[in-house]
Structure 1
Amino acid sequence: MAALRLRESVIAAKQKLATDREKLKRQHEAGTPGVQLCAQITDCFDSIILDLVNAAANDVEGFTPEKVLANLAIVPHGGYGRRDTAPYSDIDLMILHEPTFREPAIRFTKRLQQDVFDVGLILGHSLRTPSQATSFALSDATIFTSLAENRYLAGSVSLFRRFAEPFRRKARLNFRRLYKAIMKSRDEERAQYGEVVHMLEPNIKRSSGTLRGIQMVRWLGFARYGENELDALNRVGAISDKDRKSLRDAREYLLRLRNELHFHAGKSSDLLDRAEQIRIAELYGYEGTEGLLPVEQFMQTYFEHTSGVRDAARHFIASIRPQSIFLSVLGPVMTRRVDRDFHVGPYRISTSRRWKQRRAGQLDEVLELMIAANRFGRHIDHPTWEVIRRKFQGNVDVELTETTRKLFLSLLAEPGRLGELLRRLHELRLLEKIVPDMAHARCLLQFNQYHKYTVDAHCIKTVECACGFLNRDDMLGDVYRSIKKKWLLHLALLIHDLGKGFPEDHSIVGARIAEEVADRFWLSPQDKETLVHLVLYHLQMSHLAFRRDTSDEQLVLRFAMDNGPAERLKMLYVLTCADFAGVGPGTLNDWKVRVLTDLYRRSMLHLGGDDTLDTVQQRRKKLDALASLVRGHQNEDWFKRVIDSLPDGFLRETPASQIINDLEQLQAMRDDSPMVTCLYREDRGVLEITIGTREALMQGVFHRLTGAVTSQRMTILAAEINTLADGLVLDRYFVQDKDHEGEPPAERLEDICQRIRKYLTDPADQAPTFTSTWTSRNQRMAEEAISIPTDIKIDNETAENYTIVEVFTQDRQGLLYQISRLLFEMGLSVHVARITTHLDQVVDVFYVTDADDKKIFDDKRLDGIKLALRESLAEQNS
């Protein structure tokens, strides 16, 4: 019935839209190029809009259609204006009108707006006179960038020209102001949709290096030269032949990809999420290799295109950047010559004409310039970089001389702007001439939710993060500043993950690469050994800190001996922190820094690299302090007995006043009511939940508590199960509250304690109810498509008194409870737990004993534990 109320022109347009979209979809599936298909989509929309415009003109009372259209001009703009229209794109129209024709124009616009909506298209429109359109565009960057790509569709040609020609002329006159406004607007958008070109789930329209980068060239080209077509910008010398080709190829690739996203979704869709990446990789015929998934191959191609856009757009933007009036006047006065060819200004370093003509194409000279730029803390000015870029764009062969090797290591020695300069070398493809394995890592995706960048971007980012430690006011900053051979640390960071993308373990492949790099740079045997060691064992410190019980001093001693001498341990500590920081924003948090720093401090004791009291002295000092606090207490003997049974880790990490407070509550605890406290640790940014029970009364306390905590929407980071004197158990859990950032309110903490206490005393020991979390269909598809295989490992070597069970599997709700309960049902007691979650993958580590509190040696039983865990987790996954 609703269709009967539509006008005939609307019904016809609606039918045409459905028919044409279906036909265009078949053409897309048959392989029609993206640019060509977008032009055909635009033609389809044009045809529909023209019919609706004529129908709306017929509907303006008191005026003939000819009179209406003589006083209006229909102007497509934005993507519709440049004919980049995707199947379900919005339509942006500006309706220009004569100043004396406003009321009829309003009636016309209302009719057109309703008809376009009824057809099923989304219309963005404005109604303006030519002078209003120009004025608004010149005062608002968003309006300007949309109207910069306009074309005539219908109505008065002369009216359109009264807008288009003055707009083009005034844009060029206002270029300096427009440039700043456009760049500010783009910076805000990029911060929202992804600053880095190698983000894992990009928006192919708005993220860095995507269609928006090409559009930026067009918008700024229009403002500067009055031209927005790439060919026209090439003709006026604004972009090189190579950049024009790079941008045109990327435009074709991205438009075809965008058409696929739209057609598959049946609506506007620009997000290339993980599910779509998997689907399109299969659709495009990527087969993968032994070391690379098909989706990783597909995304490597994608990132190669977006990197090309990023580099070309950045170069164009820099080439037309208006020079500061201040610098143009005072810059020459404030610039000093540091040698014959380098001139250091207030913000940038520049080169002489002679250097540009004779030396810009020599790698050694470019490295010399970069070393100077780093030493003086200056950017390389654009005219110099433009010449360098042009010289090396042909991918010329580069000979690695002894001088080149020395200069590159000298560049690595100074933090400064090292990350930025390494990216510049990588952009020129010179970094892979110096370190050949960077070519394999270029744009190489790691298809997981943990790493936010491609392998090459991550490696360079870790160097930049390490350099940033220079300004930290803590142990991490002190250690970084004290490292003598920073070049060796930075080189290790630059190559530490280059072994990824091969079938073999990436640390082992990386160690071989490190040997080749060491030989390539003629490193001394000692430096070569350090470089290979840092790459081979770059994960060891993080695995020990977050997967093992580091209260075991023998374990710390072995780690120290394996990674000594002291200078090498310093490098490993900084490398580990930088590796975390280079994963993505916020990954290296205060909690991780504290845990790694504690392990570093204690390891350095064994290497003579720290004057801190040794472990025995620390324990004795802490015990004496606690003894003084309970002296004269009516239960002094009980307190001393229990204090003497506290493990080293608990004593070291817990303030004396808190220990006494916990023990007082433990001493006063009733058998039917376990002690539960919840404290926010501001120094770590986590909640510390402490539970006291009697061992005989609370069998299987770990799985019970795990269920209680995780059912309250809290993530367990680590757990300690401490068995004390007199059969007492004092457990401590470090958790993050998903419902609150920072310190939760007092009522939340009290509620957590009450719920945990209630659950622990429930005689039924029933499984808790976990709050459901909504996930989209695409998320579920991605999880299914990249399901991480479950792996169970048994370690009977590391701990003297415990069997260590490691569970590697895909994260899901209630997982930790499921594992811990199964361990309990198999008659195992959990003494220490380490929980590491990387968004989509978990590594849960449990130190366990059997019912007799003994380590498990029987191979048959160990195999049974592995089998039971694997089957239970596989059943849960199915």
Structure 2
Amino acid sequence: MGAEFDLADEDASAIFSAPRIRSRLAQGASPVAAFRETLKWGRERLYTLFHEGTAADALVHARAHLVDEVLRTAWQKFLPELTDGLALVAVGGYGRSELLPHSDIDILLLHSGEALEQHRKALEQMTAFAWDIGLEVGQSVRTVQECVDEAAKDITVMTNLLEARMLTGDAALYQQMQQALTPEHVWPVKAFFEAKKAEQAARYRKYDDTGYKLEPNVKESPGGLRDIHTIGWVAKRHFNAQTLAELREHGFLNKQESDELFAGQDFLWRVRFALHMITNRREDRLLFDHQIKVAALFGYEDNDKNRAVEQFMQLYYRTIKSLSCLNDMLLQLFDEAILHPDAGEPEVLNARFQVRNQTIEARDDDVFRKQPWALLEIFRLLQEHPKIAGIRAQTLRMIMRDGRLIDDAVRNDVRARAIFIDMFREGRGLTRNLRRMNRYGVLGRYLPSFGKIVGLMQYDLFHTLTVDEHVLYVLRNARRFAMGRFQHELPFANEVFTRIAKPELLYLGAFWHDMAKGRGGDHSTLGAEEAEQFCLDHGLSHADAAVVAWLVENHLVMSLTAQKQDVQDPNVVASFARKVGDRDRLDYLLLLTCADIRGTNPALWNSWRESLLKDLYSSTARALERGLDDPVVPEERVAETCARALKLLTERGTDTQAAAQVWQRFDRDYFLRHSPEELAWHLPAIVSAKEADLPLVLVETLSDRGTTVFVYTRDRDHLFGLSAGVLARLGLNILDARLHTTNDGFVLDSYAVMESDNSPIQPGIRFEEIRNALRKVLSDPEMSTVEVNRRVSQRLRHFNTPTHIHFSQDEARRRTVMELVAADQPGLLSMVGRVFQKRGILLDAAKIGTIGERAEDVFYITDRMHRPIRDERVLDDLREVLTRTLDRTDAA
């Protein structure tokens, strides 16, 4: 090809000038080679310009200009004479002259009918040529009337044609189409605006009404580029505006807002450009695979508090938050101008605010400048008057303009403090209006602690939302306990909620629980200190402030106890009860724990976790009622469990005479770790089982505990590893394992299991599949390992979770506790079991927890003589072998 152009001191428009492009297209061994090489050259030049920091708008326009010249030159090659009745038209994003490296190239071949037939062969050759040179063109072929008909039926077609731009051909035909598509003929402005609002609402619902998920779509998620497109489409239909910049001329944007809009668009374009460049394809999703690479391209580096990717993503989330505000304001302006030009007489609320057409507005343009605390009052009024639909556009503009006036003087103003704390006491509408305050920047200004977590993300698969969104989701979950229409979600929690005296303390605990994240140190401790001071500053009593601070400091304690310790152990319950102290705090903590787990990652909440929390709550409540000086002793718990199991058996018409004979073979832990319902389920099967029936495998869904797999058979080596391998191969997650060996050499192993996506296991064929698979493997004395597909999912591969193992001693139960943190991977438990078996280690019980990309499991182990393992050399050797096994690079 011809000489390379020097990029020094040249901008994108000079590099991609029409003469230069045409010159390159005229060179080469063949037209196909010349065109392909030109497109390749253009892509490389754009990548170089990106790395040099060229503005994104220059890049997207340069790419569009390159494609323009390629298509025009191709048109001239196959249709060399000026052709009446044919026009080549760019539509969609290409019509806006906005193309990323791998964006769709949408064109319309507009024809008069006769011309299409006359030149069909040449047009087909041109289309084939476009594909040969690597230009993936999306082409529609229509007459003017067909354009009108299709546009009338489909708002998407209308929108695509709204962006039409003439490339070459019959200009008169193009003008005829433009005239036929004006609001007077199809899609009047009002109908178009209503359709676009509905379309945006539907798109938001697709993304759960939040752009703050951890793998956002840069184009389609709320706050993304599509929101900017929506504004542009409405402006074009309403004003016949050709660019967003014209909104300033019509008074719909001031300079600051215009600068903010274009800066946000440029940022999102650069992110999307980087995604196309990294993946070498059209990619609009900021997947975990790509986030680290994009952060590096943007120049971010890890620091002591936050990783580079977290810093970059915080900028991303704050940018889309700003764009969402502008989208709200502009669509509200359009609503007022298009749908409600005559808003009618206002209804006065107070000296500062009034309602007009179901929207609240300031009565004075300077209200926030004169009384900055009114920036909080407007949201309190929205909470008091739920029928008010929103905020009028001019008042939104004032909020965004005057939010900076919230300073320490406002934060210390008794009026502002009274308004804010009253929102929590009111309860109704709290979450909705705190979301509004966050969206429009008021919440983060009033509470600088909240401002620090806005857009903050944690680069893992456990936390599915940014910290600020998570906090508000947890608060939403806490509020739902107060609402009868959500009682079906968690009936037990709703019942507990009716007993708490001051719901606002729960709401404040939810609001503050993660406020200190991202600062280094223990966020629970730091947050508790700040929460207590906040409560005192806002007029709460010392006793109430202490409850909120305690909740914040201990918001993880109940979930960690339930998921990592044996909640059937009276000693565990007694220790937890001492930490809680009284029934009131237990009630608050249960509700906050349920709200937090469900607001962290929806996949975490299941019937098994709910049952663990309910068991811990009930046992702790009983312990508190008895008094901490009179704890339940294990023997008492065993006697009560057996009595209740016998009652169940009797009610079911089962002969209970064999119970005492069978149960005397089992140790105390069996009765402590299983519910009466489980004992009543096991007993008849064990009594009737003959040697030929072993291994006995039962699968059942018991009450609200999810599905349990129970294995009764003679003890053998590697039983846990084999069982875990079979269950993993079946695509099941093990949530909990309780393993017992009787004095006469039988095992009683129970596994709580769910499907790999954490959905419940459906009975019937699936239960039979589990039974048959386990029986087949466990009955084969030659079977020593179960191979599990160890291919790690694409989503997990880019997370680096080194294996970490910590040992401690459970003196009361005479066993060693091994806490394992490792990268989640298929067959992990089977591998752990195999290591145990080779080193003569017995597994007594296991608590299994997969937290996103991390496995956080607890194993209770002994040596072959059922003694705790105290020799540090043995423990160090076990740690080294497990680490080497689980961190093997070939596991990926």
1:711 paired with 2:729, answer yes
Give the match for residue 56 of structure 2: 34
Give the match for residue 641 of structure 1: 664
3-state SS of 1:199 partner: coil
3-state SS of 1:809 partner: strand
1:802 paired with 2:815, answer yes
1:594 paired with 2:606, answer no
2:551 to 534, 539, 545: 534
Change (3 A) 1:637 1:264: closer
Deviation at 1:158, TM superposition (A): 2.5
Give the match for residue 386 of structure 2: 377
2-structure distance, mates of 1:506, 1:520: 21
Give the match for residue 52 of structure 1: 74
3-state SS of 2:644 partner: helix
Structure 1 gap segments, 5+ residues each: 1-5, 59-64
> Amino acid of the residue matched to residue 68 of structure 2?
D
Change (3 A) 1:625 1:10: same
Change (3 A) 1:640 1:16: closer
2:583–2:621 CA contact under 8 A, matched in 1: yes
Deviation at 1:355, TM superposition (A): 6.2
Give the match for residue 543 of structure 1: 560
- TM-score of the two chains, using structure 2 as the length reference: 0.87
Structure 2 gap segments, 5+ residues each: 1-27
**1:196-251 deviations in Å (ceiling 9; x for gaps):** 21221222222222211211111122233322522111221223433322221121
1:304 paired with 2:318, answer yes
**1:259-313 deviations in Å (ceiling 9; x for gaps):** 2222333332222222221122223321221111111111112222222222211
Deviation at 1:711, TM superposition (A): 2.4
2-structure distance, mates of 1:827, 1:143: 70
1-structure distance, mates of 2:338, 2:684: 63
- TM-score of the two chains, using structure 1 as the length reference: 0.88
1-structure distance, mates of 2:523, 2:232: 42
1:492 to 503, 509, 516: 509
> Amino acid of the residue matched to residue 708 of structure 2?
E
Give the match for residue 62 of structure 1: none
> Amino acid of the residue matched to residue 789 of structure 1?
P
Deviation at 1:811, TM superposition (A): 0.6
Change (3 A) 1:545 1:505: same
Deviation at 1:839, TM superposition (A): 2.9
Give the match for residue 749 of structure 1: 767
Give the match for residue 360 of structure 2: 350
Give the match for residue 785 of structure 2: 767
Give the match for residue 652 of structure 1: 675
1:682–1:743 CA contact under 8 A, matched in 2: no
Q: How does 1:227-306 map to 2 (within 5 A)?
A: 227-306=241-320
**1:411-456 deviations in Å (ceiling 9; x for gaps):** 0223332222112212232212332211221211100011111111
**1:684-711 deviations in Å (ceiling 9; x for gaps):** 4x431110123xx324432232222222
1:604 to 595, 609, 621: 621
1:142 paired with 2:156, answer yes
Give the match for residue 708 of structure 2: 688
3-state SS of 2:392 partner: helix
2-structure distance, mates of 1:278, 1:220: 36
Give the match for residue 738 of structure 2: 720
Change (3 A) 1:731 1:355: farther
1:41–1:86 CA contact under 8 A, matched in 2: yes
1:349–1:378 CA contact under 8 A, matched in 2: no
Change (3 A) 1:587 1:338: farther
Give the match for residue 789 of structure 1: 802
Give the match for residue 678 of structure 1: 699
1-structure distance, mates of 2:369, 2:185: 35
2-structure distance, mates of 1:227, 1:766: 74
Change (3 A) 1:663 1:876: farther
> Amino acid of the residue matched to residue 818 of structure 1?
M
Q: How does 1:90-109 map to 2 (within 5 A)?
A: 90-98=104-112, 101-104=115-118, 106-107=120-121, 109=123
* Segment drifting more, 250-259 vs 511-520: 511-520
1:715–1:738 CA contact under 8 A, matched in 2: yes
2:372–2:405 CA contact under 8 A, matched in 1: no
1-structure distance, mates of 2:773, 2:320: 51
1-structure distance, mates of 2:676, 2:285: 45
Give the match for residue 397 of structure 1: 407
**1:599-649 deviations in Å (ceiling 9; x for gaps):** 222212223399xx9874853640441574688667455246358957445
2-structure distance, mates of 1:822, 1:381: 61
Give the match for residue 464 of structure 2: 452
**1:82-105 deviations in Å (ceiling 9; x for gaps):** 111011222111222235544236
Give the match for residue 9 of structure 2: none
2-structure distance, mates of 1:798, 1:208: 54
Change (3 A) 1:273 1:803: same
**1:566-604 deviations in Å (ceiling 9; x for gaps):** 222212111111111212444433332232222222212
> Amino acid of the residue matched to residue 841 of structure 2?
L
1-structure distance, mates of 2:96, 2:765: 57
> Amino acid of the residue matched to residue 710 of structure 2?
T
Deviation at 1:11, TM superposition (A): 4.1
3-state SS of 1:437 partner: helix
Change (3 A) 1:537 1:742: closer
* Segment drifting more, 623-632 vs 866-875: 623-632
Q: How does 1:111-190 map to 2 (within 5 A)?
A: 111-170=125-184, 174-190=188-204
> Amino acid of the residue matched to residue 563 of structure 1?
V
1:583 to 592, 597, 600: 600
1-structure distance, mates of 2:832, 2:513: 33
1:193–1:203 CA contact under 8 A, matched in 2: no
1-structure distance, mates of 2:798, 2:496: 41
Change (3 A) 1:406 1:468: same
Change (3 A) 1:328 1:47: closer
Deviation at 1:13, TM superposition (A): 2.2
Deviation at 1:498, TM superposition (A): 2.4
Deviation at 1:175, TM superposition (A): 2.4
